[in-house]
Amino acid sequence: MKTPKRLAGLVEEGLVDEVIGQLMSGKEATVYVVRCGEHIRCAKVYKDAKERSFRTNVAYQEGRKVKNSRQARAMAKGSRYGRQMQEEVWQSAEVDALYRLSAAGVRVPQPHLCFEGVLLMDLVLDADGNAAPRLNDVELSETLALEYHALLINQVVRMLCAGVIHGDLSEYNILVGADGPIIIDLPQAVDAAGNSHAAEMLERDVNNLRSYFSAFAPSLTDSQFGKEIWARYESGLLTPELPLTGQIQLDESPADVDAVLLQVEMAIRENEIRRMCQ
């Protein structure tokens, strides 16, 4: 096929020998199958910001690092330079997350490089050697649904232990490779320790898995893995090997109303004293 414009640079640099064909086009990027020497890989070509329908919510941007304060100010102002920097940070988030998670043993495609807005990584194959399907395109038995759910919950835990939350995990960004599910699409990944919405995003990811797999395995319907995982994480006890039950003991003891009112009264008094001293 004719080499797409965005891939021409990789071909000229000798990083890609041949563009075999387009694999898919999504809300954030177009993915091509390419040949690199003896290896068949995929090239994820990010779409320009104006062409994307992806979430640009500030909740995802919180905690992301930039090189210096000038870039941070430009991004905050929304200048042309700032938008360029924001685009680079958005793209590098997936690259950084993939390298970080791959090193932590999480089931993600192995990244190789990112060059001029193109991410080159391993192509996930199914048992027949074809491009792996998305999870939502695979027919599941109850047994297989329980197996995949348990594996993916463990991957969520491994990601969190590595300090990363996917932020948009669902059956649409999980591939079913020859040896089981592989997690993809991480440009919205957030730093668990640096984002105040981390707990909410983690629970949403886990609940998305519950909603999908419970259609095949009803026993998962009332599971609370998200709350359990975050509670373990906050307590410093979370490890990839930690057994999870999907249940969490909620504190149902009655609130100490008198103690709460006392704290409110003390806060009011402190505020009044502070105003008198001004």
Is residue 266 included in any domain, yes or no? no
CA-to-CA distance for 241 and 158, rounded, in angstroms? 9
Residues of the domain holding 51: 5-234
pLDDT tens for each residue of 184-194: 999 889 999 98
Structural domain total, the chain: 1
What's the mean pLDDT in 115-119? 88
What's the mean pLDDT in 57-83? 52
Half-sphere exposure of 197 (CA within 13 A, CB side): 17
Q: Closest Cα partner for 184 from 171, 201, 196? A: 171
Is residue 239 included in any domain, yes or no? no
Is residue 58 included in any domain, yes or no? yes
Is residue 214 included in any domain, yes or no? yes
- Domain holding 115: CATH number? 1.10.510.10
* pLDDT value at 74 more than 60: no
* pLDDT value at 51 more than 80: no
pTM over 0.85: no
pLDDT tens for each residue of 158-215: 999 999 999 999 999 999 999 999 999 998 899 999 899 999 999 999 999 999 999 9
* pLDDT value at 60 more than 60: no
* pLDDT value at 50 more than 50: yes
Sheet hosting strand 39-46, strand order edge to edge: 18-25, 29-36, 39-46, 118-122, 111-115
Is residue 29 included in any domain, yes or no? yes
Is residue 177 included in any domain, yes or no? yes
* pLDDT value at 21 more than 80: yes
Q: What is the pLDDT of residue 254?
A: 62
Q: What is the pLDDT of residue 111?
A: 94
Q: What is the pLDDT confidence band of residue 28, given thresholds at 50, 70 and 90?
A: confident
CA-to-CA distance for 81 and 273, rounded, in angstroms? 47
Answer yes or no: are the C-beta atoms of 43 and 16 closer than 8 Å. yes
β pairing state of 111-115 and 174-177: unpaired
Q: What is the pLDDT of residue 47?
A: 82
Higher pLDDT, 198 or 51: 198
Mean pLDDT of the chain: 85
What's the mean pLDDT in 249-278? 61
What's the mean pLDDT in 228-244? 96
Is residue 187 included in any domain, yes or no? yes
CA-to-CA distance for 188 and 181, rounded, in angstroms? 20
β pairing state of 174-177 and 118-122: unpaired
Is residue 268 included in any domain, yes or no? no
* pLDDT value at 90 more than 80: no
